[in-house]
Amino acid sequence: MQIRDLPYSDPGDPDVRSGPRFLVWLGRSQLTGQLKSLAWGLLHHCAIAGLPLAVGLAVQAVIDRSGQDLARAGVLLVLLGVLIAVGDTMLHRTAVTNWITAAARVQQLLARRTAELGSALTRRVAAGEVVSVSTGDVEKIGWFVEALSRFAAAATALVLICVGLVIYLPSLGVLVAVATPVLALAVLPLLPRATRRADLQREKAGRATELASDTVAGLRVLRGIGGEELFLARYRRASQEVRRAAVRSARMWALISAIQVLLPGLLLISLVWYGATLARDGRIEIGQLVTVYSAATLMLFPLRNVEEIAMAYSFSRPSAQRAVRVLSLRRTAGPSTLDAVRPQGDLYDPVTGLMAPQGRFTAVVCGDPDEAGRLAERLGGHAEPGDASAPLPSVLLGGVALDELPLGTARTAVLVQDKDPVLLSGTLRELLEVPSSGGVTAEEALDAAQCGDVLDALAQASVEVDGDPMNTRITERGRSLSGGQRQRLALARSLVTDPEALVLDEPTSAVDSHTEARVAAGVQRLRRGRTTVAFASSPLLLDLADRVVLVHGGTVVAAGSHRELLRDEPRYRAVVTRDSDGGSTAADGLAAADRLPPARTIEEIEERA
C-alpha cells in the first residue's frame, strides 16, 4: 500500500478484543510494508556493521605497510557508504509509509464506526475521547507500526553482529555479546512508570484545555455574573497541576536518558581497557581491537531501536485500548440482510408501542427529557443495544426493521435531529449542501424554519460577495449565533434532506413563542405527506400535530389530539401545563382552549402566541 493509493477501499475488520490484539492485527494488515522495511533495514544495519571490518583492515594494512590491502579496504569503505545511504533512505521511506498508512487505516475505521453509530456515539463515549483517539492516539499507534519493522531489522542486525564478533575475536566478542542484552533491557523496568507519568500529564493538560475552552465559550455569561476571577483561579490551579506533572514526567525521562548514556559508556571503557591489555600481551592485533571497538560503538545505533520500540509500545498500548473502546461499539446485533430498498410506511417502536402513521405529523410528549432523547435515537436506529442475551427489538419502518437495512438506506429513510445539533464551520451554502432527495430547496427549508432574521444577520456580517448570506462563513459550532438561530439553521438543514421519516427532538426549545408558532406551522406545511415525529411539550406545537402521543415510564399510555388529551389525561396536563398536581391551572387552560377553535393558520397561531 502506497500513500498515493489512500484511502483504503476497505480498511478491514479489526480485532477489538484488546489493545495488544488490535496492534497485532494492524501489524499483520501492514505485512507487506513491514517486510519491505525489514529488508531495507537489514541492508542499512549490515552495511554499518561492515564499517568496523573495513576500518580494521585499513589500520592493519597501514601497520603492515601493504598498499594493496589498503586499496581493498578503501574500495570496501566506498561500497559500504553507498549501501548505507541507499538503505537509510529507503528504510526511512518505507517506515514513514507504514506510519501514514497505518494511521489512515485507523482513522478510516474510526470514521466508519462514527458514521454507523451517528448521534448515539457520544452517549456511549465522550466526544472528547473520540477526538483524542482520532488525533493523538492515531499518531501513537502509527508510531508503533512504523517502529516495529525498524526494530525487527535492528534486532536481527544486533544478533548477526554479536555472532560475527564472537566468531571473529572470541576474547572480546563474548564480552560484547553478553553486554548487549543488558544494554537493550536496562531501561525497560522504568518505562511503565514513565508512561504513567506521561499519561497523567496529558490527562491534566486535557482537563486544563477543556476548562479554558469552556471559559472562553461562556465568557459573556461569566462577565454578566462577575465570575471571571473564579474561573481564572480554577484555570491557574489546573495549569500548575499540568506544570508539576510535566516536571515529574521529565525527571523520569531524564533518568532513562542518563542510563542510556551511562551503560554504553561503561561497556566501551571496559572494552578498551580489556582489549588494550590483550593487545599489550600480544594476544590480539591492533586492527582486531579497532574492529571490535568500532563494532561496539556502532551497535549503539541499532540499540536505540530496541529502546524506541519499548517506548512506542508503552505509549501505543493505552492508545490502542482507547481506539478499541470506540471500534468495539456496534450499531446492531447482526449484519444487514436486506437489499438497499428504501422502505415506506408507519414508523413503529415495539419497545414503547409508539406508532407514527405514514404521512402524518405526530407529536410525542415525555415527562423525562432524557427518556425523550433515548426514544428519539431509537426511532433513528441509533439506540444502544440491550443485553446480548435479550436484545431490544428494532424499530420498524413500513414493517421493515431498521437494524436489518444497509446503513446508508437506514440513514436515508429516517433522520434524527438532536435537541443540541452541531453546526460545522463553513459557509451557509456548504452547511445546506447535504445528501437529500432534491424535493426541498434550501430557500424553502430556510423559510419554513423562519431563518429570515438569521439571513439578515449573516448578510450584515458578510464581507465577501455583495453581502450574500449564503456565502457568509459560520464559525465553529455556530458560536457567533444565538441558540435559537443555531437551532433553526440546524432544522433547515434537516428539512433540506427530506427523509421519509424526520424525527425532531425539541426543535423549538430555544426560540420565543412567536417564532415557535411560525416554525411549527412551517414544518407542518413543508412536511405535508411525509412522516414527521416531534418530541415537544409546547402547546403551540402540539395543537398543530395530527396526532399526539404521551409516553410515560417507557411506554405509550395515551394517544389522541392535543385537546382530547388535555381534557382526559391528567398526566398529559401535568407535563404540558407544568402543573404537577393537575389542579385549577390545568382546568383553566383547558376551558380557555375549548372556547377557541383549533388554530390552523399562521395568523391565528401568531395571535394566540
pLDDT in tens, 405-429: 777 778 788 888 887 777 877 888 8
Count how many Cα atoms sit within 13 Å of the Cα of residue 28 in the half-sphere of its side chain: 10
Q: Is the pLDDT of residue 458 over 90?
A: no
Q: Is 499 helix (H, G, I), strand (E, B) or coil?
A: coil
| Pairwise CA distance, residues 478 & 457, whole Å | 13
Kindly tell me if the per-residue pLDDT of 348 is higher than 90: yes
Residues 227-251, mean pLDDT to the nearest whole number:
84
> Which grid coordinates are listed for 521?
406551522
Cell of 209: 484545555
- d(CA 365, CA 385) in angstroms, rounded, equals 24
Cα separation, 191 vs 488, whole angstroms: 52
Q: Is the dihedral of CA 168, 43, 99, 9 positive or negative?
A: negative
Q: Is the pLDDT of residue 350 over 70?
A: yes
Distance, CA of 416 to CA of 410 (rounded, Å): 11
User: Residue 22 pLDDT > 50, yes or no?
Assistant: yes
**What local confidence, expressed as pLDDT, does residue 596 receive?**
40
Give bridge partners of residue 298 from the DSSP assignment: none
Question: For residue 434, how far is the Cα from the chain centroid?
Answer: 22
Q: Mean pLDDT in the chain?
A: 81
Residue 598 pLDDT > 50: no
Considering only residues 482 and 493, tell me which one the structure prediction assigns the higher pLDDT: 493
Cell numbers standing for residue 67: 598498499
- Grid coordinates given for 173: 566478542
Least confident range from 139-148, 217-226, 470-479, 481-490: namely 217-226
Question: Cell digits for 210?
Answer: 477543556
Higher pLDDT pick, 253 / 396: 396
Among the residues of 186-227, which ranges form H helices?
191-217, 219-225
> Of the spans 141-155, 296-310, 324-338, 473-487, which averages the highest pLDDT?
141-155
Nearest to 49 by CA among 294, 345, 265, 241: 294
Give CA–CA dist 583/574, Å, rounded: 9
User: Using 50, 70 and 90 to split pLDDT, how confident is the model at 384?
Assistant: low
Predicted pLDDT at 333: 43
pLDDT number for residue 347:
92
Q: What is the per-residue pLDDT for 422?
A: 78
Q: Is the pLDDT of residue 229 over 70?
A: yes
The answer to whether 469 and 427 have CB atoms below 8 angstroms apart is no
How confident is the model over 277-291, as a mean pLDDT? 82
- Angstrom distance (rounded) from CA 483 to CA 216: 16
Q: Per-residue pLDDT for 174 more than 70?
A: yes
Mean pLDDT to the nearest integer, 420-449? 85
| Lowest mean pLDDT across 267-276, 377-386, 390-399 | 377-386
State phi, psi for 448 to the nearest 5 degrees.
-65, -35
pLDDT exceeds 90 at position 361: yes
Report DSSP state, residue 242: H
- How many residues in total does the chain contain? 609
Respond yes or no on whether the N-terminal peptide bond of residue 499 is cis (omega within 30° of 0). Answer: no
* Banded model confidence at residue 522, pLDDT cuts 50, 70, 90: very high
Query: Side chain identity at 10, as an amino acid letter?
Result: D
Residue range 545-595, pLDDT digits in tens: 999 999 988 899 999 999 999 889 999 988 888 664 444 444 444 444 443
C-alpha cell at 379: 426511532
Q: Locate 219 and state its grid cell.
A: 465568557
Rounded to an integer, the average pLDDT of 490-501 is 91
251 vs 215 pLDDT, higher one = 251
- Provide the grid cell at 263: 551503560
Over residues 169-198, the mean pLDDT reads 84
Give kind and range of the element (H or E) at residue 349.
Answer: strand 347-349
Give the CA distances from residue 518 to residues 20, 168, 369, 419, 544, in Å, rounded to whole numbers and listed in that order.
Answer: 56, 91, 23, 18, 11
pLDDT at residue number 582: 45
Q: State the sign of the Cα–Cα–Cα–Cα dihedral 161, 162, 168, 172.
A: positive
* C-beta separation of 41 from 33 below 8 A: no
DSSP, res 137: I
Band the pLDDT of 353: cuts 50, 70, 90. Answer: very high
Q: Is it the case that residue 251 has pLDDT exceeding 60?
A: yes
Longest dimension (CA), the chain: 121
Distances (CA, A) of 13 to 25, 336, 376, 572: 9, 16, 29, 48
For the chain, how many helices (H) and strands (E)?
Answer: 24, 12
Q: How far is CA 325 from the centre of its chain?
A: 11
More confident residue, 225 or 191: 191
User: What are the residues facing 503 on neighbouring strands?
Assistant: 416, 533
- What gap in Å lies between CA 273 and CA 277, rounded to an integer? 6
Buried b (16+ CB within 10 A) or exposed e, 278-313: bbeeeebbebbbbbbbbbbebbeebbebbbbbbbbb
Three-state DSSP class for residue 255? helix
Residue 12 near residue 29 (C-beta atoms within 8 A): yes
Tell me how far apart the alpha carbons of residues 156 and 306 are, in angstroms, rounded to a whole number.
11
Q: Give the whole-number percent of the chain exceeding pLDDT 90.
A: 15
User: In which element (H, E) is residue 48 found?
Assistant: helix 31-64
Which amino acid is located at 603 in the chain?
E
pTM of the model: 0.61
Helices (DSSP H) in 433-569: which residue ranges?
A: 442-448, 452-461, 483-497, 513-526, 539-542, 562-568
Q: Are 190 and 256 in contact (CB under 8 A)?
A: yes
**Section 134-139 average pLDDT:** 81
Q: Mean pLDDT across the stretch 303-307?
A: 79
